[in-house]
Amino acid sequence: MNPIIALSLLTLACTYADDDATLPKSVAISGPTHTIWAGWNHTWGMLSHRASYIQVQPGEGDAARSGIVGGDWSTGDTWSDDVEYRIHQQHITGDVLQVELGSATLIVGPDGTESTSVGIDMTTANVVVLQGFEFNTDIDQSEDYPAEYDPALGYTSRGFGMGVSLGDDGRVDVAASVQWGPRDRQDMNNAMPFAQTEVTVHFAALSGFSSSDGAHYAGSQDLAHDPPLSDQQGLREPLSWDGFGFAGIESFELALFDTDGGDGGDYLRSFGVELAPTEDGQPPPTIQAEILTYAPLELGTMSMAADVNAVWIPLHASTSRIEGVTVSGTHPVGTHGVPTESTP
């Protein structure tokens, strides 16, 4: 089935004209530098794996943090694998943008969703965006959790997501979802109804600008199933933002479904949401999202869906300097400051 993609741009306020957006880079800009996350992708090099640990956080300059574990078929206990990563970030220098960073840690139980709210000091915030996340199944479980299965091995997935927004009381509302589905390991399947997952959601509250443009992306497709290594592709759609500024992700949801209507999950090969930034503050040309399952041996016949809320923040090139960076390479299983020495 061809992708069914819907993209609606929700204009929250008119973008003011930025006649000085083409000022030469030699113009001196002073002030602090803030880094805003613009998405990521993780792709296992050889196989699809259970999901047990994922970490993504932007960093200074050309650095970031990336972490991934996928059960004993990724760690070397049974088989070893590496992951290819892309982490997108924008460095904004100047006195205009104001940023307050925060985080919330949620325990997502068997029902698959959890939410909370976090207080912030900033009283002028008008946008909150995601600033990376951490996802971990290797935590203490309930007394009902079966002793026969180690939660550090993770589970076959039906998708995950998270989002942040400003509440009416000035606090930041944070939500996370983690969905598991059974596949071919009975001990894992028995543990899923009791599984708890720790999700840490990092965010940035923003102020200091006069307008913003929101975009809502929704898409779905049946995933190719012609093993080995079916030709699965993610979803991609052009964006119509213009001007000078930076992008952020307010929420995303990546979902997998058995095409026969069952409740099965699957092993993950490649997943992420990407607003790949330009080098000089021009808008990202596309929004991309995927949660794919291709492998030498493919068990499930799956479909995928993605839902993303993104935002574009216009600034003036006379008062702000913006540098878009994509940190990419390959690293082993585990958590790493990237790039690492093993990165090509």
**What DSSP assignment string belongs to 140-181?**
---TTS-TTS-GGG-B-EEEEEEEEEE-TTSPEEEEEEEEE-
Q: Is the pLDDT of residue 223 over 50?
A: yes
Is there a contact between 12 and 217 (Cβ–Cβ < 8 Å)? no
So what's the pLDDT on residue 182?
Answer: 98
pTM above 0.95, yes or no: no
Q: Is the pLDDT of residue 245 over 70?
A: yes
Q: Let me know if residue 190 belongs to a domain.
A: yes
So what's the pLDDT on residue 343?
Answer: 40
Q: Let me know if residue 195 belongs to a domain.
A: yes
Q: Is the pLDDT of residue 16 over 60?
A: no
Q: Let me know if residue 96 belongs to a domain.
A: yes
Q: Is the pLDDT of residue 27 over 80?
A: no
Q: Is the pLDDT of residue 342 over 80?
A: no
Q: Let me know if residue 343 belongs to a domain.
A: no
Domain that holds residue 220: 4-338
Number of domains in the chain: 1
- Name the least confident of 27-41, 99-113, 213-227, 295-309: 27-41
Tell me the C-alpha distance between 295 and 232, whole Å: 10
So what's the pLDDT on residue 225?
Answer: 96
Q: Let me know if residue 212 belongs to a domain.
A: yes
So what's the pLDDT on residue 28?
Answer: 79
How do residues 269-291 score in pLDDT, each as one tens digit?
A: 999 999 999 999 999 999 999 99
- Please list, in sequence order, all residues whose beta carbon lies within 8 angstroms of the beta carbon of residue 233, skipping any fewer than 6 positions away: 290, 292
**Mean pLDDT over each residue of the chain, to the nearest integer:** 91
So what's the pLDDT on residue 340?
Answer: 66
Q: Let me know if residue 215 belongs to a domain.
A: yes
C-alpha distances out from residue 41 to 94, 142, 148, Å: 29, 32, 32
Return the closest-CA partner of residue 324 out of 284, 286, 272.
284
